[in-house]
Structure 1
Amino acid sequence: MTSTRVAREPLIQRSLRKARRAFGPAGLFFKGFVKHPAMVGAIVPSSRRTIERVLSRVDWENTKLFVEYGPGVGTFCRPVLDKLRRDGTLIVIDTNPDFIDYLSRTIGDSRFIAVNGSAADVEEIIRAHGFEQADYVLSGLPFTNLPPGVGPAIMSATHRVLRQGGAFLVYQYTARARALMGQYFHRIDKGFEPVNVPPCVISWGWKD
């Protein structure tokens, strides 16, 4: 990059580029937060304790398809793949092409599929990869910050795409999303993880 181009480049873009180079995945996550704070929802990835608690209700032996909305830099992807059966599949969906490109380049696992798209289109996305239903869907999307109508569309599509006995695993930083979740999932187990930035509210919505 020439000195003239550097001079013309906006300060925030230079800062984001330097952060991504200096901090790797953390820098990319921070870039995603700055560009789309309503979609990322947090400034740092979830803690290890949050990951373990959110995934603690999953029946891994009987999980063939696990779906994640908003995977970011893969904070949950690798722990899910570590637990997932050998013939299982993890499909992640994100509207941010930077995250999808990063995950596609850094996760070399034949069970992993990264899709640049909307969670509201989850039914069409999994069908395109040979599935009719998912066993579990995980989401860290900030439902209370999404544009009008998007949250209900995602909730409705998620309920339809889950198999009977499957669950929607949601981690948020407030409990406000549970009211929306309760319109589609009649049994919701509740959890909380204080060792996270910020502390994390967890909900497991079951499709009985």
Structure 2
Amino acid sequence: MKDTGLVAMTEFLRHPSMVGSAFPATARMVRHMLAPIDWDNVRTAVEYGPGSGRFTFAMLARMRPDARLLAIETGAEFVEKLRASSDDPRLIVAHGSAEDVGRHLTENSLGYADVILSGLPFSTLKQEDAETIMRVTGSALAPSGIFAAYQMRTAVLSLINRQFVDVRQGYEWWNIPPCHLYWASKLRGEGSYEDQIGGSASA
């Protein structure tokens, strides 16, 4: 089986509009992105576009023994790699689109998600697809759930602002390429990330 870096590069060249970057995220960016989330209270998490699994395995390391992580991926090689790389019973790898997150949650008896993390490149998606994904994301989240996203560009911000009322932003330079980071909640002043954004990179 191809190594993680080669799979990431190959899938990026094949589907540049669906793969956020040809390079896996740095450990620093993973920490920065995940630190604001209260993982002790996460029972169901979803990841859009797990790719090579950099965030996937970091999320699993932070999650409770009884939690579940649904990773939704369109790339067949990424799906194969993820399934072969982990025997963690908490991980469910679904081959499909984020637009069908509701169906994937239902089929796996997971209910609403407490956290949805997205690495999908919203700036290169068709506008109608991006809007659909954001709409179903809002429907799939629990009332106090958090939507988190890392992006090379800021195109996703207008979509987030339409769906969520409490939106926080960050930036991570220590990554190729540097990324804009977003954490959003449907309830103002509720997300567990509220007081943690500032120093989260070193968490």
Counterpart of 1:82? 61
How far 1:148 sits from its partner (Å)?
Answer: 3.4
Give 1:58's aligned amino acid. Answer: I
Do the aligned residues in 1 keep the contact of 2:123 with 2:154 (CA within 8 Å)? Answer: no
- Pairwise CA distance, 1:201: 0.3
- Residue identity in the other structure for 1:59: D
Structure 1 partner of 2:142 = 163
Instruction: Please name the residue that 1:195 is paired with.
Output: 174
Structure 2 unaligned segments of length 5 or more: list them. 188-203
1:175 equivalenced with 2:154 (yes/no):
yes
Q: Which amino acid aligns with 1:187?
A: D
Distance of 1:207 and 1:163 partners within structure 2: 9
Structure showing greater Rg: 1
1: CA distance, partners of 2:182 / 2:88: 28
Q: Residue in 2 aligned with 1:130?
A: 109
Distance 1:89 1:131 in 2: 8
How far does the alpha carbon of each residue in 1:111-135 deviate from its partner, in whole angstroms, 9 at most, with x for none? 0000001101101101111122000
Cα distance in structure 1, aligned partners of 2:126 and 2:75: 16
Post-superposition offset of 1:78? 0.8
TM-score for the superposition, normalised by structure 1? 0.87
Deviations 1:167-204 (CA, angstroms, capped at 9, x unpaired): 10000011221011111112100100110111110000
Which of 102, 122, 125 is the aligned partner of 1:143?
122
Secondary structure class of the residue paired with 1:66: strand
Which aligned pairs between 1:1-208 and structure 2 lie closer than 5 A? 21=2, 24-208=3-187
Provide the alpha-carbon RMSD of the alignment: 1.0
Identity among equivalent positions (%) equals: 34
**Structure 1: runs of 5 or more not aligned:** 1-19
State the 1:80 CA deviation: 0.6
Q: Which has the higher helix share?
A: 1
Letter in 1 for 2:158: A
1:35-83 per-residue CA deviation (whole Å, 9 max, x = no partner) reads 0011112110111111111111211111100100000010111111111
